[in-house]
Structure 1
């Protein structure tokens, strides 16, 4: 359903831009819309986003790999988000933006780590443990996340061309995961994959701003990449089937955003 939503959003934006092409780009009897809009010191709006979230995994060479085989796999997921826009005009070509929002995410991690039974006698990295037969429920972790995403971005844009203007932006994000389970006493042995609650990321974005008679519409593409490791280690007595197999797990997200100002 979310995948269809993602595709529908892109198609809708394309059709919308195509439908309005005559109004936006025609030269005969052309009217420039919202001519003084970008001269405002402050402006605001809201956005909707269709997202694809995944983890970039770095596996532990002992517990996460069997020779050249990766024992842990992640599956990306489509999701959605929404938020507000606040913009401060810095100059004719630069703006400072803050866009607090919520991103609703669900991902899967698959652990094919039965071969770690070979370390049952213990190693310097783990205590001795009693091997167990991993069930399908043991191998699959569905990780749900609700991120409070607060990006602070510097935007640079070109001159207006008729009723449009290209732009690019980059900056840093503070992302708080409301479903991190970071303080839970249970861990993967009880079916809970724990992640960090407070995170830092960076983002880059490109798009085109379209000016209409009453509002500005901005379709854009954004990439967001976590800087810190989000994986929280399992308890010391937990066998190395799960978090011990992962050296780091960092979110990477690609978003199609529609902004209304």
Structure 2
């Protein structure tokens, strides 16, 4: 929430500096959207959670999220005046802390799930009409992600304090943002929601494990705040 506040505070400053609130603003990069291909990069923050579904009624596993960071590249292909096809590969680092209320031993109740994802999203961007030096947009699509910290091939499991997840995961992503046309570059803050499509949990080797035995599905969900520069 602190980062989101800074984002909301920073955006009006950019608007004011770019003369975007003026009655007749100077139009920056007037023909920029007509180029067939353009490139960029982004930096940002993420907050990822887990959604658990259970086989039988039990106390929910508690998930404490942390703030991670994102960095990546942007390739944009213009389809027409309103639609663009985008490829935004990026590195996403995050951590989720799981607490198991049904486990009495305090040393075994906590699992720190550190994840480093490489995302490969293919997105469609729909942009509204440009108004002066701003242009809002919606974006959505599908992505696949490689989890470098999955422990998917590890023979040990939670009985050896090792939490295991699938190496590859598929997601769908939706969000909105705004292109701000400055004198020398395009600044594009956006907020994205991301949702896993498949079950990411690798069960422990022992049936009935207190960590994984009652879990039907475990799926990532969360949001990204990205600041793109073109």
TM bucket, shorter chain: over 0.9
Structure having the higher helix fraction is 1
Flag the structure with larger Rg.
Answer: 1
For 1:102, the equivalent position in structure 2 comes to 91
Aligned partner of 2:23 in structure 1 is 27
Q: Are the aligned partners of 1:25 and 1:162 in contact in 2 as well (CA < 8 Å)?
A: no
Kept in 1: contact 2:207–2:213 (CA 8 A): no
Matched, 1:245 2:196: no
Unaligned runs of 5+ in 2: none
1:17 and 2:6 are equivalent in the alignment: no
How far did residue 113 of structure 1 move? 2.2
Please say if 1:146 is aligned against 2:116. yes
SS at match of 1:87: strand
> Kindly tell me: are residues 26 and 19 of structure 1, through their superposed partners in 2, closer, same or farther at Cα, counting changes over 3 Å?
closer
1:207 offset after TM fit, Å? Answer: 1.1
CA distance in 2 between partners of 1:186 and 1:233 (Å): 11
Of 78, 81, 84, 1:89 maps to: 78
Q: Are residue 214 (structure 1) and residue 184 (structure 2) matched?
A: yes
Q: TM-score, normalization: structure 2?
A: 0.94
Correspondence for 1:181 among 141, 146, 151: 151
Give the Cα separation in 2 of the matches to 1:8 and 1:148: 27
Q: State the 1:103 CA deviation.
A: 0.5
- Give the 5 Å matches for 1:186-205: 186-205=156-175
Residue number in structure 1 paired with 2:67: 78
**Most deviating of 70-79 and 102-111:** 70-79
How well do the aligned residues superpose, as a CA RMSD in angstroms? Answer: 1.7
